[in-house]
Every structure is written in C-alpha cells, then in structure tokens.
Amino acid sequence: MAISWYTPMPNTVACVLAAGKGTRMKSRMPKVLHGFGGRTLVGHVLHALQQTEVDQIQVVIGHGAEAVEASLSSQGVGIIYQHEQKGTGHAVQQVAPALQDFTGTLLVVNGDMPLITPQTIQQLLDRHHSEGAKASLVTARLADPTGYGRVFLKPDQSIERIVEHRDCTPNERLHPLVNAGIYCFDWQMLWPILKDLSNNNDQGEYYLTDVIAQLTPVFALEIRDEREILGVNNRLQLAEVAQIYHQRILQHWMLEGVTILDPRSTTIEDTVQLESDVVIEPQTHLRGSTVVRSGASLGPGSLIVDSEIGAESVVRYSVIERSRTGSQCAIGPYSHIRDGAVIGDNCRIGNFVEIKKSTLGNYTNSAHLSYLGDATLGERVNIGAGTITANYDGFRKHPTIIGKGTKTGSNSVLIAPITLGEDVNVGAGSVVTKDVPAGALVVARAKQVVKENWKPKHKTE
C-alpha cells in the first residue's frame, strides 16, 4: 500500500513587516538591516518569534529587497514581496497567496521592533486563543504617547476603537494607552475584510487598524515594560534600543553570579555563555558564540569573539577571535589570538604577541613581541622575544613544528616549513632554515665583524 506524505498546515503563521525604506536612517542600507548585538533589527524580531509557538514565519520585504532577502537566506523563513509600500494593511494583503486554505492564527509584527520578547509574543497568542478573540493586539501606557495610535477599551477590557494620533481630539491625545503594532487575527475572519480594505485617508494607504472596528471581540494585552515596543526610525533610536538590549543581558549575567565592574562600558551579546565567578572589567566586549569558564577574568579593554576562555584564565587589553585558551592562562596585555588558535593550560601569551592558527601545549610561554602562525608547539616551550615563524612564501602558508621543552633566543626567525625537535635551543638572532634534531643547539647568524676606527666614506674625503 502506498503511503502519502504531506506537510500539515500550520496553526500559527507570523507575518513580519520589513518592507519600509527607513528614510530617517539616512542610509543606503534598508532600515531593517541595521542592527546591534550580532543581529539585524529584523533578525532580533525573528529570534524572538523562533522561541514561541509560531509554526511558520513569512517576511514581507520591499525596499532593498535583494539585500534583505540575502540576509534572511539562512533563517528558514518565507519571503513575500511588497513592490509598492502602501501601508500595513497592504503589506498583509500580500501574504494571502501563501495562506490559501489556512484556517489558523495570523500574527503580525513590525520588523523594526528589536526589543520585543518571546514572552510577550507568547502571552499575546495565549490571550488571543483563551478569549476566543477574532483579533488581539499589544498595548502599552506611555508617558509621552505622541505619534502612536490611541486604544480605547470597553468595560470588559475588549477594544472599543483605535484612533490614529493625527485624528485624535486634544483630549484624546492625553490618553496614554497606545497601539504597539503587534496583532493576532483569526485569518478566516480577517481576509474577507482585508481584501476590501479602503485607502480613503490623507495618506492614501491601507491601514491594518481599520479592520479592528469590523471584528469582534477584540482584546488587548497590556505589557508592563513599554520599552519592548520601541521602534527604530533613526540612528539615535538605534543607539537607545541597543543600550537597553545590552542592559538586559548584563543584568541577567550579574544575577547569575558574574561580576561586571562597569556595565556602562561593557557589551555582551545574547549568544555568549558565562559561568559563575567570571569577572569582566571595563571596556570589554564579548560577541558571538563565546564561552567563558568559571573564575576567568577579562579586561580591561578586551574583545573576545567566537572563542572559549578557560577557567581562571586572565585576559588583559587583548583581542581573541575564533580561538580557545586553556585554564589558568595569562593573556596580554596587547596580545592578538586568532583564526583557530588553541592555547593549552597554564600558558603565558604576553605583550604584542600574535598567534594565528597555531596550537600551543601546556605551560608554553611567548611573553614578548612575537608572531606564531601555522605552528604546533609542544609543552613547556619558551619563545624568546622577537621570535617569528616565517610561514608565508608569497604563495602558500607552511607549518612550523616545535618540540617539547625547546627554547628560542630573542630575535629568531624560523623559516617554514621547519621542525625543531624536543629540547632544542636556538641562539639569539638566528635565522633557522633547516630542521633541527632533538637536544641540539642551533646558531644560524653571520659572524660578527668589527672594523676599528671606521668612518663613513663621505667623512674621509
């Protein structure tokens, strides 16, 4: 017997409105692609939605569609084009072809509202379903509601009407309860009204709020933290919401046992993981998939991206990118560790040392002014000041292998590909071009020449 496979219809579809130009951003880039904290504005909204009971997400794009679509390529969302931007109602109309035979709930969210939380979205969905509402929306009470549509409620807390700011009377403008622009609809009830929506208004646009008066019952979910509904229309507002975002994350980690000495100068992205008793000093920034183990101390003045910092390690005034350090390491000041470097336990990486795509064994030190690239170092290696692995021949990168217990003198150059055995000693100022066996001393420098009573030729004429 043949088995027929099919994809079940979703119960809840989210429609994210991300088609606007964002003229006040004064940017060549679409507004929703501006961002902070490792995500775009629309990326923050999608991240919140993906943590709720939404089954499918459709993003309506328009201005800068090619760039916006490219940024969403890995998000697992549907793309809907709004070729002309004629208002929120018109944007939702464009989703209809993707919702044929759909009988569930349509959630509508603005794509420039990066502080909205999964908890608020889920509460709206739960309220919408528990009340048996035909429509529901998020509201907030603002000290200054200028510019927002005002929401007026009936005694049973259902919505009586929504009045846009420009249409409010002087008395209505004093009303603090505003429409946040986040909606739930029963799609089968919404579509017959939406498809016949009128644009008979000053702007000649189709407003989603105009359908509210034709649906009943309609309920509001009033949120406590009005900052969740802040939209971004210019660079000042972008900075304001970024500050609130980082403040949220810092508060979370401080309550989880992390010491942050100066929250005003510290940023941590929400993808970062910290263990207890981590200490973060001023002007330190943690990004991407960074993990910091218990007891580590970071900063001041450090940037750590997509890296793991071992327990009880110390990082000062340094940059670590896509790398890993072991436990009880001392990094910095002014070190740069990058591109897949792996540092063992109890290592010291000091002033102006750069390590790229290299592995260092336990108890290995490189304390001053060195570059180690494409190298593998054993345990207890000591790299003298000014040591360089010359790994690039102008066409390809080559490896350097340094055995356990080896020591390089100051100002040494190791020309890769090259292998130094265990317990090798490299004389200061050497340029080593050939492999060195274990236990050897290698000195590779020109014989010193001293010419007494010498003067430049032009001074003898």
Rounded CA separation 92/111 (Å): 13
Q: Which amino acid is it at 248?
A: R
Q: Which of 222, 204, 217, 249 is nearest to 85 (CA)?
A: 204
Q: Which of 84, 69, 67, 66 is nearest to 16 (CA)?
A: 69
* Contact status, residue 59 vs residue 111, Cβ threshold 8 Å: yes
Q: Which of 305, 264, 377, 365 is nearest to 318 (CA)?
A: 305
* Contact status, residue 318 vs residue 300, Cβ threshold 8 Å: no
Residue 126: exposure state from Cβ atoms within 10 A (0-12, 13-18, ≥19): middle
Per the document, the length of the chain is 461
* Contact status, residue 354 vs residue 336, Cβ threshold 8 Å: yes
Q: Which of 334, 261, 257 is nearest to 303 (CA)?
A: 334
Q: Which amino acid is it at 400?
A: T
Q: Which of 413, 418, 367, 365 is nearest to 390 (CA)?
A: 413
Buried b or exposed e, range 179-212, using 16+ CB within 10 angstroms: bbbbbbbbbebbbebbeebeeeeeeeebbbbbbb
Bridge partner list, 163: 150
Neighbours of 311 (CB within 10 A): 17
Rounded CA separation 295/306 (Å): 19
> What amino acid positions are annotated as catalytic residues?
368
Give residue 328's region: left, alpha or beta (phi > 0; psi -120 to 50).
left
Q: What is the DSSP string of 244-278?
A: HHHHHHHHHHHHTT-EES-GGG-EE-TT-EE-TT-
